[in-house]
Structure 1
């Protein structure tokens, strides 16, 4: 079954836009945190303060979607395949393949996100002079500050922030190695977490200030998000440097192909280590799941289609890539699509190999 990315709420230039289920958690937390602030500024609202807080949450969602839409549209413009836009607990992300990427294209995709928030911030600040007060003024003020913060914060040169991708592109341009850029930007992200935590927490720990639970919680959530993203970048950079020395053909499994409607008893499953399901147009649609195959009683095989034991995979998991392709190119497809499996297609669109994360991370021959 294909992984769910939440509720599909729109389509932008052919790109599906999803609202992740975790966004509900963000909405509840933001309403709980911002509601008392609204009530303090406009006490006459009473319980309606929380409705105003929810309005601010919706404005934040618009900001996130504009940010990700900017990434997606520029990625399309420079020739990348874009698979989806998702707004979720961590803000949002845009999944694209990055095939044929260059430092310039990568930098262009990265920088437009913060720039879009900068434009929204300017609009918010501009509105302040036209509003007399009350709820509209409060929302415009909060909207302007939020987008200003997001724009500046995302430009910090540390992965997983957009500024980290700009740093990655700069190192890539200078050294000729994207993986070295990823490694440098990942370590920059780790350093950022340590410095930010020290700056925000040490004055309170060594002085007379009292730490609020809200402040600690916000710092902890941001630190976990940044540290995980930075650490993943460090791992990917190291793996990429090793993988760039090997070809996809060295690790690819030789797959069998089976039509989705083919009965299970018509296939000799032991002939290949992995089997690719083909849709009615003959295109790769997923893989046969070996545990699911074993759970079907043999007597039911003649009436059970291969699709019943298949696992669909994210868009972009099957890519045209010859045996001479470098393994790091396959890893890039995994990173951009979120798929742990990549099918490699020849010039006719026929699958000739499959690489999973197990083969991808085993970047040195066994016994070396």
Structure 2
């Protein structure tokens, strides 16, 4: 299936088990800010360095980049282990992120993938602490100390219980596991993220001001940026959870149309009198045969004419495989997610069950109407 080309998020620097790794364009901005702010601190701590202090600050930036990539690599590797489909790893303005084209279907898997990121930073912090016990040169000791504290802080910060942090995924997984409802977990973790944001602002900004302490402009800007990132991420999670819940009110059976299956090597004479998906030897759909299209082939030629001669391969993401039994409203979310990832809705979407067997097919207009109906504000009678 062809996929619409998407602009790369930055400079590709390698891959991990087939997952591309990028340094985002925004990372250059954060690297510059860190060098500018950390450089004077290095010069104050080690006056003999002079201008070389900024080179040391850049080395610290490289250390942070390594920490971010280790964090995201942990997410990616754990995701692959738990059956996630990992799309890419990106280091960007806010540290980094690992994106998935398909996530796991259990709370346990979600929790495992979430927790390994902060744990990897905790391990780096322990390694850094062990290195500090050695007799290191002044510059190496300064960098190691900064590296250690940064990883300890990142580990602790990411475990705070609220979206968009890894701790938010742990809250979501906990609620999901306890109630069986992931959507509820998403909304609760989003609200927890808002609460955590308010606490951060109160502790780092409001409380010092109340006690008469003067905050530097740089510190104030950092707190505001972090709080903004947290608030918008938490709000997005709440909105996502609500939309997912609304889509879940539409039973998939309401828009699913009957679909038969036949081997791709079948003849036209062997086709059932229904819409049919032709399955390849590898068990994957090869294309779609519309009911009644066999009428275009003379009766005497149907046994010798391959069914593939009538095959239609829809453009766009025309095959979706479900992760559950196909009867829950969550399946509609799978279809919407598939369309969103590819930026388009196929004219016909073939829906497969978890075991790969065809469940039915959905017309584009039916899917669009179902989504519009689900998202339409409900009016009280």
**TM-score, normalised with respect to structure 1:** 0.75
Matched, 1:240 2:240: no
Residue 22 of structure 1 is matched in structure 2 by: 26
TM superposition shift of 1:216: 0.7
TM superposition shift of 1:242: 1.6
After superposition, what is the alpha-carbon deviation per residue over 1:18-74, rounded to whole angstroms, capped at 9, x for unaligned? 111111111101111111111111111111111111110011010000000000011
Cα distance change of structure 1 residues 140 and 247 upon mapping to structure 2, 3 Å threshold: same
The answer to whether the Cα contact below 8 Å between 1:63 and 1:117 also exists between their aligned partners in 2 is yes
**2-side partners of 1:335 and 1:40: how far apart?**
52
The answer to whether the Cα contact below 8 Å between 2:12 and 2:20 also exists between their aligned partners in 1 is yes
**1-side partners of 2:154 and 2:142: how far apart?**
18
**2-side partners of 1:171 and 1:157: how far apart?**
12
2:82 equivalent among 70, 78, 83? 78
Residue 96 of structure 2 is matched in structure 1 by: 92
Residue 41 of structure 1 is matched in structure 2 by: 45
Matched, 1:136 2:137: no
The answer to whether the Cα contact below 8 Å between 1:169 and 1:178 also exists between their aligned partners in 2 is yes
Residue 2 of structure 1 is matched in structure 2 by: 6
Matched, 1:179 2:197: no
Matched, 1:108 2:112: yes
Deviates more, 1:316-325 or 1:197-206: 316-325
Cα distance change of structure 1 residues 58 and 239 upon mapping to structure 2, 3 Å threshold: same
**2-side partners of 1:358 and 1:49: how far apart?**
61
Cα distance change of structure 1 residues 317 and 188 upon mapping to structure 2, 3 Å threshold: farther
Residue 217 of structure 1 is matched in structure 2 by: 221
**Aligned ranges 1:241-256 → 2 under 5 Å:** 241-247=245-251
TM superposition shift of 1:321: 4.5
TM superposition shift of 1:206: 2.6
SS in 1 for 2:13: strand
Q: Could you list the runs of 5+ residues in structure 1 that have no partner in the other structure?
A: 253-281, 285-311
When Rg is computed on C-alpha atoms for both structures, the one with the higher figure is 2
Matched, 1:52 2:56: yes
**2-side partners of 1:113 and 1:333: how far apart?**
29
**2-side partners of 1:283 and 1:202: how far apart?**
61
SS in 1 for 2:7: coil
Residue 273 of structure 1 is matched in structure 2 by: none
SS in 2 for 1:22: helix
Residue 319 of structure 1 is matched in structure 2 by: 320
**1-side partners of 2:369 and 2:164: how far apart?**
24
**2-side partners of 1:219 and 1:317: how far apart?**
45
TM superposition shift of 1:204: 3.4
Matched, 1:162 2:162: no
The answer to whether the Cα contact below 8 Å between 1:8 and 1:18 also exists between their aligned partners in 2 is yes
TM superposition shift of 1:114: 0.5
TM superposition shift of 1:75: 0.5
The answer to whether the Cα contact below 8 Å between 1:334 and 1:341 also exists between their aligned partners in 2 is no
Residue 262 of structure 1 is matched in structure 2 by: none
Residue 199 of structure 1 is matched in structure 2 by: 203
TM superposition shift of 1:325: 6.3
Q: Could you list the runs of 5+ residues in structure 2 that have no partner in the other structure?
A: 257-284, 288-314
The answer to whether the Cα contact below 8 Å between 2:132 and 2:141 also exists between their aligned partners in 1 is yes
**2-side partners of 1:164 and 1:124: how far apart?**
27
The answer to whether the Cα contact below 8 Å between 2:82 and 2:104 also exists between their aligned partners in 1 is no
SS in 2 for 1:125: helix
TM superposition shift of 1:239: 1.2
Query: Would you identify which runs of 4 or more consecutive aligned residues in structure 1 move more than 3 Å?
Result: 97-100, 247-252, 316-319, 321-362, 364-368
TM superposition shift of 1:195: 1.5
TM superposition shift of 1:4: 2.5
**TM-score, normalised with respect to structure 2:** 0.73
The answer to whether the Cα contact below 8 Å between 1:317 and 1:334 also exists between their aligned partners in 2 is no
Residue 231 of structure 2 is matched in structure 1 by: 227
Deviates more, 1:353-362 or 1:135-144: 353-362
The answer to whether the Cα contact below 8 Å between 1:15 and 1:85 also exists between their aligned partners in 2 is yes
Residue 31 of structure 1 is matched in structure 2 by: 35
Cα distance change of structure 1 residues 367 and 57 upon mapping to structure 2, 3 Å threshold: closer
TM superposition shift of 1:360: 4.4
Aligned length: 312
TM superposition shift of 1:341: 4.2
